[in-house]
C-alpha cells in the first residue's frame, strides 16, 4: 500500500521568488526503497522536509499541491526523518546514548518496557549497543550518525525519510547501514532516501527518482543509473561511467556483475 503520495507539489522557502520544488508527484509504497538522486541544489533535501511535514510547518514557506501520508492505523502513523547533519539532531537532553535513543519513544508516551525493548533493538541493529553508556557529546561523526538513525528507528516509523544517512560513515559502516535500510523496507516500512552514494543504489533501491532544479526529470528502476542521460549528468554509477568513457556500446552496465555479463558479450566469449 502507498504510504506517501506527493501530488503536484511545489514549494517555496520564505523570502524566495522561485520554487525549490516544482510540480513534483511521487509515491512510496510499504516495502519499497525509493532513492532521490540529483546534483546539489536539485531539491532532494527539501522534498524530504516536505514529506516529513517539516516544510512548510516548521521551516515556513508556501506549499502548493497535496502531500498524503498513510500510516499503519492507530498509534502507528509515524514517519521518521534523518537529517544530513546528525549533530543538529541530538536532543541535547541525554547524558547517555541509551537515553538519547529513548528520547523519541519516551515522548510518544510508551510504557517503560516497550521503550526499553525498542531502544535495545534499535541500538543493536545499528551495531551501536556498545555505545549505550557513552555521553553523546563524545561520539565521533560516524558513531553519532548511527545513534541518530537508531533514535528514529526506535520510534518504529512506518515511513523513513533519510537524507545522506551514510555520509559520515566509513565504507564498511556505510555498507552496513545500506543493508539495514534494505532490511527495514523488506519488513514492510516505506523508505525515501536522498544520497550521493550512487554506487550503493542498484542493491538498495527499488526505484530511482532523478531530480534537477526541483523537478522530476525521470524515474525508474536502478538500471536508470546506467542510462545515457544520467551518465551525462554525472549521476550514473561509476561502472556505467567507465563503460561509457571507454566508448563501449549501450546498454551500459550499472554494476560490476552487469559488467561481467556485458563483457562476455563484447568479447564474444
Partner 1 sequence: MEGSDGTLTTALRLDGVSFAYGALPALSGVSFALAAGERVALLGRNGAGKSTVARLVTGLLRPAAGTVSLGGWDTRDRTPDALARSGRVGSVFQHADEQLFARTLEDDVSFGPRAAGLPERDVRRRVAAALAALELEPLAREHPYDLPPALRKLAALAGALALEPALLVLDEPTAALDRALSARVTRALLERAAGGVALLVITHDLTFAAEALERGLVLDRGRLACDEPLAALLGSAARLEPLGLALPPVAALSAALDLPGRPVRAADAARALARVAGGRPAP
Q: Is 269 exposed, middle or buried (0-12, 13-18, 19+ CB in 10 A)?
A: exposed
* Look-up of cell digits 516497550: 114
Regarding 121 and contact with partner 1 (CB under 8 A), the answer is no
Binding to partner 1 by residue 89, rule CB under 8 A? no
Strands 79-82 and 159-163: parallel
Angle (CA) 225-231-233 rounded to 5° is 110
Reading the block at residue 260, the C-alpha cell is 561481467
Instruction: Confirm or reject binding of residue 210 to partner 1 (CB under 8 A).
Output: no
CB 245, min distance to partner 1, A: 4
State which residue, 13 or 116, has the beta carbon closest to partner 1. Answer: 13
Q: Does position 205 bind partner 1 by CB under 8 A?
A: no
* Interacting positions 170-189 with partner 1 (CB under 8 A): 170-175
Nearer CB in complex with partner 1: 7/170: 170
Of 2, 107, 140, 250, the one binding partner 1 (CB under 8 A) is 140
Give yes or no for residue 237 binding partner 1 (CB under 8 A): yes
Residues 83 and 3: their CA atoms lie apart, in Å, by: 20
Residues 157 and 79: beta-carbon distance below 8 Å: yes
Query: For the chain, how far is it from start to end, CA to CA, in angstroms?
Result: 44
Binding residues for partner 1 (CB under 8 A): 38-41, 84-85, 87, 140-143, 164, 167-175, 196, 198-199, 234-235, 237-239, 241-243, 245-248, 256, 259-260, 263, 266-267
Amino acid at each position: 500500500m502507498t504510504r506517501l503520495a506527493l501530488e503536484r507539489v511545489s514549494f517555496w522557502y520564505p523570502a524566495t521568488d522561485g520554487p525549490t520544488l516544482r510540480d513534483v508527484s511521487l509515491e512510496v509504497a510499504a516495502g519499497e526503497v525509493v532513492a532521490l538522486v540529483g546534483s546539489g541544489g536539485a531539491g532532494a533535501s527539501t522534498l524530504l522536509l516536505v514529506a516529513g511535514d517539516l516544510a512548510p510547518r516548521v521551516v515556513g514557506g508556501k506549499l502548493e499541491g497535496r502531500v498524503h501520508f498513510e500510516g499503519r492505523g492507530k498509534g502507528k502513523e509515524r514517519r521518521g526523518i534523518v537529517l544530513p547533519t546528525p549533530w543538529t539532531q541530538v536532543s541535547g537532553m541525554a547524558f547517555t546514548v541509551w537515553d538519547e535513543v529513548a528520547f523519541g519513544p519516551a515522548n510518544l508516551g510508551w510504557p517503560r518496557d516497550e521503550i526499553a525493548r525498542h531502544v535495545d533493538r534499535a541500538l543493536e541493529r545499528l551495531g551501536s549497543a556498545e555505545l549505550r553508556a557513552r555521553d553523546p557529546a563524545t561520539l565521533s561523526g560516524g558513531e553519532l550518525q548511527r545513534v541518530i538513525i537508531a533514535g528514529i528507528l526506535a520510534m518504529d516509523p512506518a515511513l523513513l525519510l533519510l537524507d545522506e544517512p551514510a555520509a559520515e560513515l566509513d565504507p564498511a559502516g556505510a555498507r552496513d547501514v545500506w543493508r539495514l535500510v534494505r532490511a527495514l523496507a523488506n519488513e514492510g516500512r516505506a523508505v525515501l532516501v536522498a544520497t550521493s552514494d550512487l554506487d550503493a543504489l542498484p542493491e538498495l533501491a527499488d526505484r530511482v527518482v532523478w531530480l534537477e532544479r526541483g523537478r522530476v526529470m525521470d524515474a525508474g528502476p536502478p538500471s536508470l543509473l546506467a542510462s545515457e542521460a544520467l551518465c551525462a549528468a554525472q549521476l550514473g554509477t561509476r561502472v556505467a561511467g567507465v563503460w561509457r568513457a571507454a566508448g563501449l556500446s549501450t546498454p551500459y552496465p550499472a554494476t560490476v556483475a552487469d559488467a561481467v555479463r556485458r563483457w562476455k558479450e563484447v568479447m564474444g566469449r
